[in-house]
Structure 1
């Protein structure tokens, strides 16, 4: 994929890769290299015996199908993986297979060779030796190890090999996890580190931290320590599995998997391997004491309870008396399982009421300081903070790298040093020392120097503690931090649901920040105000945010409340306000570029389609899914679909103004099916297959750069002399096209694919997309289609089954089939 603005980088010349080892990590890495447009050869060893199936087919150990079996099976796993490993299923063609004995010569043609075999130093060294003999000088070689000595692997290798060798530790699954730890050796050239960093960041879309060649590197070392400390403190405090996970998940700014669910996902045997790795290589008695094998873990592993992969660990999935599956949890100290119990306390109630990770952690510690839950949380947190501080300068050059590694590798919202700032550096250190804990000398010296935090901001600069002073965090190219810009006072205007932020070069960004970024009156008001402001004073508008998701749709709770009360005038006002706001974006006399990420559903899509360009991140799940709650798109989404169908039909006709039914109907059918079945893409690249892609829209691999890239797109459109697109009349399929869609609806109903209520919804959608009961080819205005949208939406809001669907979605976050 070409980099931004046409400049050819060295990383863009890396096109041929070899991955050796086709296990979980090797296959995942190979798939993600294919996602980046690279041609990949996946190699593994030759099997030593035949399978029963191979014998039945008369195959021998000399047959290629047998010799390539391990890599071939990995490609099959990639193709059928859920969640998908590939952004586009067709990209499986970018991966070819082979074996180390017959196809190692592929390494001689490769730009980058990645070793991902079993985590044993002797085996890795043997594989790397064979790579050294086969590679061409100057090619990159990396190992995907989670913590073995990288320097020891390179011993005995050629000088050119050592200069171009490092570890690239991908986190699992490679497509979805952001972190890659790059670990150079003493012989790795600076140019190699730079190239690997650029490859991982810009080509693969990863977040890179440089780690030192120490046991388990950064994230796994601190993460494993935190799990062991949590287990120890939970047993000491007499907490249940449920209580522990309730306190160490979102309450601490960490994922819902918390501690014990995370251990089960990692695998208890795998966790013991990580523990043993530290135990074997650490000379620190205190650290060795922490990383001594917990007997509880040993007993679980010895009994075959390895976590999720074995069906039982700290949690167990089993069948209930009614035949349905149920989750049970481990009971201490009997190690038997019982029905899960809900964790509750004044501490947890205070956490629920707090907004944001920092506020939640403060509530966790201060709401009821003498409560067992608060005492437990403090013990876990302080031990993690002190351990991270003791490793600053040991496992990484900068404390900000430790924070990034934990955010990107373990999905913490706050890294250890950010967390320390959040709870108050000076007072927490005071409490630690009062309780007899040893605080690293550099932390005490830092406070004694008059510093009250590890991070601070100066204008748009973000600084972090380093070598007795503050150092500016290195910029990440085109990455723009809206949070940093807001801290620097660059907010132009704001409502409770959205803000307009100056992102430089006379471009502003409209950021949603309502609950779940759902579109309500506050966001619509901000759009109206922003359109006026941008038209007067700015060169362009970006629509993007840094929330967990771009936008999950409109404010469903408000719509349901009004519908249940029968206030139809209010419902219509909401729809019309939504439509007018999207219309302001579409007609703005300045370029508008949307940069969605992750869940971009319903109203989120309708906020993107008026833009002149859409810059997708790879992990964008994009779709008009309103039928799932018994409705149709009515914020301009149905109108936009009809316009897309007409535009494509005209393009297919060679630009003639009159498109035939043979050209328009297929386009309309595709979009109708996409919306009627509430389909959404599984990646930014999948948007095209659903029919929402427009000329000029594109995907960039590096999600963090999407706002910067959208800004550059705005500036380029402005440079070209931007004028808003005209609003021509739209040729529609009319009654003839609607009849074709009606046949499709009947076919789905008779096959049992849709319910009678689905049939009703689909019929309303077909009426709108086809332009109603007019003749084929009739040209209608956008407002005419908006009126049809509104009418259909209102009628569906009055349906009891639609209200049931809306209510069920709000209560369970799952669609109801009724």
Structure 2
């Protein structure tokens, strides 16, 4: 067996059940990998006297207490920190302890050490791992900045060959970045395998980092926040002023500097900074990593950030947001600075243009932005090749690890390399030699594209090198005009190759309107005309679709035309019809959702033959929030899906099965991920989760082609759908009445829910009688139009459009 074929990961062991360890285990379990999670046997001070005796007698319940408690706690975590895609994934995790169970690692494919960030403890544990590991077991450490070389200095050469660093970012499920840090003796083939595996199976954005303190993202990110502290004190800015500058206005994360620090934890942040200070004596800006006095005072006061409910920000007694005055160490009301630079930045869509706007402004915001940007860029340029060889790894590290919209080198291109360097010189900054050489050679951008090939500038060898494209990332707008089949203002049809069509909506938030429906019909026409063999519904946006264009609906309601309701109903009927055309199309159609998949967008996905969606797909029929019900076929589909697999031969009560459909609609349930949507019965268990969202179009295309090649038979519209009848309708209404009386629902909620119950019950039918798909669609449409005539529904639509959140009236 060759070296490249010797690794396959189906089982893993996670050593350490702290927050990070359990989050890694949960993520692996969600990706289909069985996990053994081990931790220490509890010390005496962790146990009662009775438990100490039980532990010493070999009671596994006590000896495994730490890992068991961590697993139980992880199952309670909520978004945005939830660890599991589905609680069912926890079944893949088994627990144990180091003393009794470490020998079991010989049967796993990957061991991940995730114990406390202390070199002595890590070295001791890894030495024991060396005793028990299998011959080809991959061993990695999840350290945020300790040396991987030192960590295994006492281990065998055979283990070092299979050892490397894998630095996950927290929360593991949601943060894309994974830094891989090879040991000098790591087998090159293993590095390549782990890059591929972690990208394809775990959905991570992988960058290769060198074995330097804090690696890439934390080294640069910590310098940025340390520099922010310094400039804030030197220039006398407030914390909320700085955050207004250091967020979206310059292409960084919306949490900016100080909100990010609160999320990370003030104590953790200090530890990361001091790691650089202690381990990088030759860093020319070493002193900046020592925290200012107010940080030490915050830690002494217990103001550690969000986990302590007070940090740089906290809530006041009336839930008002307060911000720390770093000079007086008192909390004061938060304010929003009103500078022209910030006002203009909010009008600019592209992050590079926002950055350019800020640094070229003369107001208080612009002055801070320029000093921060200039000093940061120069520091980052000097880190090559110390921490990384390629600028793309640094850009990706900051985008994937700190949620920046644009990386530092791409941002430098956006503000103009030569012009910004001349300004830096005029301000007295020393320009790094690699940048000076680059400009002397006449190269004025870090990235360029020629003949369809993208290049990055190699600051070490002073030349452009091609960026190897990832064939699994399909960017529709980059396909070229020759691959554009048809287009209008609402949507475009693309030829994905291999006779596969792609339907892409591109309205604002991919909202559904007459033009998107027109192009959706055009797509089905092409499929039925045998122009294509299959279709994928997808886009490259963060969100699949937020549903119907409510502004069009509201404008229609305010129209003076006599037939305004008829016009709206025609649009609803058109969406119903095209969705049914898709569902019963002779060629397979696969939806590839991501992000918000709401209302009509969810209904489109429901009428595809298969869903191949991103793990972070938040699907739901949310129309109740605007006083309506799903009327694009969504109500019908949830009724049908609730009854799939139910044995009707014994005439079972349908109420328990239909209850899920009713609650999904009446409560406007939104799934917290694709697997959660399966658990709710919105999507099917046979649908496919893609952990790497950028790969979903590629994977959806493969599935669509597979369905075509194996024979696709959509069947015919159903006429025999059993309904819950008037008894189910009555039961649902009684439940809603209880919610109204307890204050959980309003009278308008009751009106809507009662109408949903009427549809799911099948109108006046008795339980067990049948109904057709078309009759359910007609009932959906009737209720939708009835509700549009309700004043409170119009109020909800208006409120949503103005405030981007639902009104409970």
Q: TM-score, normalised by structure 2?
A: 0.92
The partner residue of 1:272 within 263, 270, 273 is 270
**2:29 counterpart of 1:38:** no
Distance in 2 (CA, whole Å) between partners of 1:111 and 1:628 is 47
SS in 2 for 1:17: strand
The partner residue of 2:427 within 435, 455, 465 is 435
CA offsets 1:695-753 (integer angstroms, 9 cap, x no match): 75222333221110111122223334556543343434254554454454445556655
Distance in 2 (CA, whole Å) between partners of 1:242 and 1:433 is 30
Distance in 2 (CA, whole Å) between partners of 1:185 and 1:686 is 38
Shift of 1:694: 3.9
SS in 1 for 2:302: coil
Shift of 1:243: 2.0
Distance in 2 (CA, whole Å) between partners of 1:10 and 1:737 is 57
Q: Does the 8 A contact of 2:606 with 2:683 survive in 1?
A: no
Distance in 1 (CA, whole Å) between partners of 2:56 and 2:320 is 45
Distance in 2 (CA, whole Å) between partners of 1:330 and 1:809 is 33
Shift of 1:218: 0.7
CA offsets 1:201-233 (integer angstroms, 9 cap, x no match): 222221111111111111111111111122222
Greater shift in the superposed pair: 765-774 or 338-347:
765-774
What residue in structure 1 maps to residue 305 of structure 2?
307
Distance in 2 (CA, whole Å) between partners of 1:503 and 1:454 is 30
Q: Structure 1's 140 and 761: CA in aligned 2 closer, same or farther, altered over 3 A?
A: same
CA offsets 1:127-148 (integer angstroms, 9 cap, x no match): 1111111222221111110011
Distance in 2 (CA, whole Å) between partners of 1:328 and 1:742 is 44
**2:5 counterpart of 1:14:** no
Q: Structure 1's 638 and 275: CA in aligned 2 closer, same or farther, altered over 3 A?
A: same
Greater shift in the superposed pair: 85-94 or 169-178:
85-94
Q: Does the 8 A contact of 1:460 with 1:485 survive in 2?
A: no
Instruction: Kindly tell me the number of residue pairs found equivalent between the two proteins.
Output: 796
Q: Does the 8 A contact of 1:181 with 1:211 survive in 2?
A: yes
Q: Structure 1's 740 and 330: CA in aligned 2 closer, same or farther, altered over 3 A?
A: closer
Shift of 1:640: 2.3
What residue in structure 1 maps to residue 510 of structure 2?
517
What residue in structure 2 maps to residue 505 of structure 1?
498
1:607-626 counterparts in 2 under 5 A? 607-626=604-623
**2:796 counterpart of 1:798:** no
Q: Structure 1's 293 and 53: CA in aligned 2 closer, same or farther, altered over 3 A?
A: same
1:162-177 counterparts in 2 under 5 A? 162-177=160-175
Q: Structure 1's 97 and 775: CA in aligned 2 closer, same or farther, altered over 3 A?
A: closer
Q: Structure 1's 297 and 698: CA in aligned 2 closer, same or farther, altered over 3 A?
A: same
Distance in 1 (CA, whole Å) between partners of 2:583 and 2:452 is 31
Distance in 2 (CA, whole Å) between partners of 1:165 and 1:751 is 58
Q: Structure 1's 284 and 631: CA in aligned 2 closer, same or farther, altered over 3 A?
A: same
What residue in structure 2 maps to residue 386 of structure 1?
378
SS in 2 for 1:758: helix
CA offsets 1:262-285 (integer angstroms, 9 cap, x no match): 011111221111111111122435
Q: Structure 1's 458 and 787: CA in aligned 2 closer, same or farther, altered over 3 A?
A: farther
Distance in 1 (CA, whole Å) between partners of 2:451 and 2:492 is 19
1:707-786 counterparts in 2 under 5 A? 707-720=697-710, 722=712, 725-733=715-723, 735=726, 737-746=728-737, 748-749=739-740, 753-774=744-765, 780-786=771-777
Q: Does the 8 A contact of 1:732 with 1:770 survive in 2?
A: no
What residue in structure 2 maps to residue 548 of structure 1?
542
The partner residue of 1:465 within 445, 457, 466 is 457
What residue in structure 1 maps to residue 288 of structure 2?
290
What residue in structure 1 maps to residue 588 of structure 2?
591
Shift of 1:381: 1.7
What residue in structure 1 maps to residue 19 of structure 2?
24
Distance in 2 (CA, whole Å) between partners of 1:412 and 1:215 is 22
SS in 2 for 1:166: strand
What residue in structure 2 maps to residue 572 of structure 1?
569
Q: Structure 1's 711 and 253: CA in aligned 2 closer, same or farther, altered over 3 A?
A: same
Greater shift in the superposed pair: 517-526 or 236-245:
517-526
Distance in 2 (CA, whole Å) between partners of 1:11 and 1:377 is 50
Shift of 1:493: 4.0
Q: Does the 8 A contact of 1:50 with 1:61 survive in 2?
A: no
1:101-180 counterparts in 2 under 5 A? 101-180=99-178
Distance in 2 (CA, whole Å) between partners of 1:180 and 1:608 is 31
Distance in 2 (CA, whole Å) between partners of 1:25 and 1:341 is 35
Q: Does the 8 A contact of 1:648 with 1:667 survive in 2?
A: no
**2:395 counterpart of 1:403:** yes
What residue in structure 2 maps to residue 699 of structure 1?
689
Unpaired segments ≥5 residues, structure 2: none
Unpaired segments ≥5 residues, structure 1: 1-8, 654-658
Q: Does the 8 A contact of 2:740 with 2:750 survive in 1?
A: yes
Distance in 2 (CA, whole Å) between partners of 1:528 and 1:541 is 12
Distance in 2 (CA, whole Å) between partners of 1:301 and 1:232 is 18
What residue in structure 2 maps to residue 455 of structure 1?
447
Q: Does the 8 A contact of 1:463 with 1:471 survive in 2?
A: yes
What residue in structure 1 maps to residue 238 of structure 2?
240
Q: Structure 1's 362 and 535: CA in aligned 2 closer, same or farther, altered over 3 A?
A: farther
Q: Structure 1's 126 and 646: CA in aligned 2 closer, same or farther, altered over 3 A?
A: closer
Q: Structure 1's 634 and 165: CA in aligned 2 closer, same or farther, altered over 3 A?
A: same
Q: TM-score, normalised by structure 1?
A: 0.91
Shift of 1:187: 0.7
Q: Structure 1's 516 and 33: CA in aligned 2 closer, same or farther, altered over 3 A?
A: same
1:353-368 counterparts in 2 under 5 A? 353-366=347-360
What residue in structure 1 maps to residue 806 of structure 2?
815
Distance in 2 (CA, whole Å) between partners of 1:32 and 1:412 is 23
Shift of 1:309: 2.1
Shift of 1:764: 1.1
Q: Structure 1's 735 and 70: CA in aligned 2 closer, same or farther, altered over 3 A?
A: closer
What residue in structure 1 maps to residue 330 of structure 2?
336
Distance in 1 (CA, whole Å) between partners of 2:6 and 2:523 is 39
Greater shift in the superposed pair: 404-413 or 489-498:
489-498
Distance in 2 (CA, whole Å) between partners of 1:585 and 1:54 is 66
Q: Does the 8 A contact of 2:263 with 2:305 survive in 1?
A: yes
CA offsets 1:497-539 (integer angstroms, 9 cap, x no match): 4333333333333333333333334433443444445656433
Distance in 2 (CA, whole Å) between partners of 1:60 and 1:210 is 43
Q: Does the 8 A contact of 1:645 with 1:664 survive in 2?
A: no
What residue in structure 1 maps to residue 94 of structure 2?
96
Q: Structure 1's 414 and 719: CA in aligned 2 closer, same or farther, altered over 3 A?
A: same
Q: Does the 8 A contact of 2:545 with 2:597 survive in 1?
A: yes
Distance in 1 (CA, whole Å) between partners of 2:323 and 2:130 is 49
CA offsets 1:359-395 (integer angstroms, 9 cap, x no match): 32233234xx211211211222222222222223321
What residue in structure 2 maps to residue 789 of structure 1?
780
Q: Does the 8 A contact of 2:626 with 2:806 survive in 1?
A: yes
Distance in 1 (CA, whole Å) between partners of 2:732 and 2:47 is 50
The partner residue of 1:419 within 397, 411, 428 is 411
